[in-house]
A and B are shown apart, each in its own frame.
Chain A
C-alpha cells in the first residue's frame, strides 16, 4: 500500500545570520529524516526538546520551509504543489497543537472556528457547514449548543476537543498531533487519549503522534520513531522499541521515565546506574562530530566520535543508527555492557 505520508531525506535548517564576532551558523533542526506513514497507521515521534520532532510536524504542514528532501502526501509532492493544488493537499492532513489556550482564536466563536476550514477550501457554506460543525462537536464529546460559545468558556480539555473537531472538519487522512495532550491535566488527558483512539478506529485516520511521554506514545502508536538532535536514531514497532530498545538513547529515555511505585526499587536504581545519560544535550548549533549522542552515551566507543553511524536493520524489524550492532561494535566491551543493560531493561518488572 502506498504510504499516506512519505518523508524522504527531509532537512530543515535554521540560520543564525552573521553578527559582530560570530560567523553565520546553520542548525540542522531536521537532518535527512526518512519517515513513512501508511493509511490508517499511527506513528509516534519521541525525543527531547530540541530534537526536531515538532519541526518535522511544522515542515509537513508548511509552517517551516524545507531546505531539501521531499514530502509526499499520497504520492503528491507537497513541496512542489502551489495555489489550489496545495490547498487541496492541505485538506488531507490537519494538525492539533500543544497549547489549547492559544490554539483557538479568542475572538472567534467555536462555530466560526470549525467552519473556517470549510469556507477557505470552498467546501461547504451556511447551514450545511454549521450542521457539519455540530456533528463534529458531538463526535468529540461536546454539545451542538456550544457552537455559539467562545473559547474562554471552555476548560483546557474541552478546548483540545474543539481543536480536534477543527482538525476533523475537512475529513483528513492524517492528523498530526503535536504534543496534543502534554498540556492537559492527567485526569483529562486520559479522556482525550481515549477519544483520539476511538476517532482513529471509526474514521480510519492515520496519526503522527508527537510526544515526550513514552508510555502515552507507546499506547497510541503502531510504530515509534525516536529523534535525537535532528535525526531519527531508531524506528520500529511501538512495543518492540519500548521492550527491546536498539539505541542507547532510547534505552536512557526509558530508564529516565519516573515510574509510580519504583522508589527504592533495586531494578530501577540499577537501570539508572547503567543507562543514565551523563550530561545535558550538546549545543545544537555546534553538534559533535560523528554520532550526535556520543557526548552523553554510556556505551560510547572510539569510532562514535568520528564517524556518523549507519542505519542498521535488526531482526525485530527496527532500524537504528548506532555503531554498537555493526561489525565495528560487535564483541567490544561497550557492546557487552550494552547487551547486559538491555537484558535488564527487557526483563519483566517484578511485581511490587
Chain B
C-alpha cells in the first residue's frame, strides 16, 4: 500500500491560512525569530553608528596602532590605529547597503519578468526563461571581478553585477509562484468579472505570489553579504578609507597571529548575518501554509 503525504493533508480539519496565521507560525520558530531579531538589531546599530562610537572610521591615531582590546578600544585598533569596533559599525552600513543593492537589483530584474512570463505564457515565457537560463550560467563572483576589471574597483558596480546574476533565481521563483496562483479559481473569477490583464497581474497575482518571493529575497541577501565580503576581502570592493566587514577582515589578516580579535570579530559578524538571512528565509518558508481544498 502506498500512502502519500497528500492524503494526510487532505484529511482532518482544514488548516486555516491567514496572514495572521502565517505570522503566528513564524513566531513559533525560535531560530527564525532570533535571526530576525539579529538582523534588525545589526541594522539599527549600524545606522546609529555615529551616535554609538566616538571614533571616526577613516582616521586613526598612529601612536595607537595594533593595540589589543582595551576599555577605550573594545576590539583593539588596526595597523593605522583606527578603532576596529567603529570600523565594523560603519562597515556594516556598507555591507548591508551593498546586499540591499544587489538584492534590490535582482528583484527589479527578476520579479516583474517572472510574473509576466507566468501570466503571458507561450513565446514570451519561452524567451524570458531562456534568457534567465543563459544568465544563470555566469559565475556571479567572476562576472563581478570582470566588471570591476573594466570599470575599476568600486562596490556599486560589483553589486549590480551580482544582482544581474541572481536575478534569474527570483525570476524562477516568481514564475513558479505566479503559475501556482494562476491555477486558482479566483483568477478565473477576476477574468469573468471583467478585470484587465494588468489589474489581474497587480491586484491578484502579485499579492498572492509574495510569500515565496520573500523567502528568496532573504536567501539572496545572505548570498550578497557573502559576495560583498569576498570582493572587499580581495580588495576589489570598497576602497580605503571606506570600511566594510570584508575590508576589515582583509586588512586584519596579515596581523592575524599577533592580533586575532579583528579577524574573529569581522568573520563572526559576516557568518552570523549570512546565517541569519538563511534562517530567516527558511522560517518564512515554513510559515507559509498552503490554503488547500479537498
Contact = CB atoms under 8 A, between A and B. Distances in A.
Co-complex (A, B):
yes
Interface in A55-81: 58, 61-63
Interface residues of B, number: 27
Given A87-B194, A116-B193, A108 B203 contact: yes
Contacts of B208: 105-107
B186 A105 contact: yes
A291 interface: no
Contacts of A94: 192-193
B199 interface: yes
B294 interface: yes
Contacts, number: 81
Interface in B250-294: 291-294
Contacts of B21: 152
A102 B190 contact: no
Contact of A91 (B17, B188, B194, B291): B194
Interface string A101-122: 1111111100000001100110
Given A90-B194, A120-B195, 7 more contacts: A87-B194, A91-B194, A103-B186, A105-B207, A108-B204, A152-B291, A166-B193
B123 to A, nearest CB: 14
Interface string B99-119: 000000000000000000000
**For B16, B185, B294, which residue has the most chain A Cβ atoms within 10 angstroms?**
B185
Given A63-B188, A152-B16, A152-B17, A105 B204 contact: yes
Contact of A120 (B17, B193, B291): B193
Interface in A95-145: 95, 97-99, 101-108, 116-117, 120-121
Contacts of B293: 99, 101-102, 183
A87 B203 CA distance: 19
A163 interface: yes
Contacts of A97: 185, 188-189
Given A94-B193, A116-B193, A166-B193, A107 B188 contact: no
B185 A102 contact: yes
A106 B17 contact: yes
Interface residues of A, number: 31
A150 interface: yes
Give the 9 A-B CB pairs with smallest separation, nearest first.
A107-B207, A103-B185, A117-B193, A102-B185, A105-B186, A61-B192, A101-B293, A152-B18, A95-B192
Interface of A: 58, 61-63, 87, 90-91, 94-95, 97-99, 101-108, 116-117, 120-121, 150, 152-153, 163, 166, 170, 183
Contacts of A150: 18
Contacts of B9: none
A117 B194 contact: yes
A90 B192 contact: yes
A5 to B, nearest CB: 14
A170 B196 CA distance: 16
Contacts of B196: 120
A103 B187 CA distance: 8
Interface string B174-200: 000000000011101111111110010
B189 A103 contact: yes
Given A107-B208, A183-B294, A120 B189 contact: no
A116 B195 contact: yes
Contacts of B19: 107
A87 B191 CA distance: 11
Contacts of A153: 18
Nearest to B209: A107
B192 A104 contact: no
19 contacts: A58-B188, A63-B188, A90-B193, A95-B189, A99-B293, A101-B14, A102-B293, A104-B186, A105-B186, A105-B189, A106-B186, A107-B204, A108-B204, A108-B207, A116-B190, A116-B193, A117-B194, A120-B194, A163-B189
A58 B188 CA distance: 9
A99 B185 contact: yes
Contacts of B184: 102
Nearest to A150: B18
B199 A120 contact: yes
B192 A62 contact: yes
A117 B195 CA distance: 7
Determine which residue in A99, A105, A108, A150 has the highest number of CB atoms from chain B within 10 A of its CB, and name it: A105
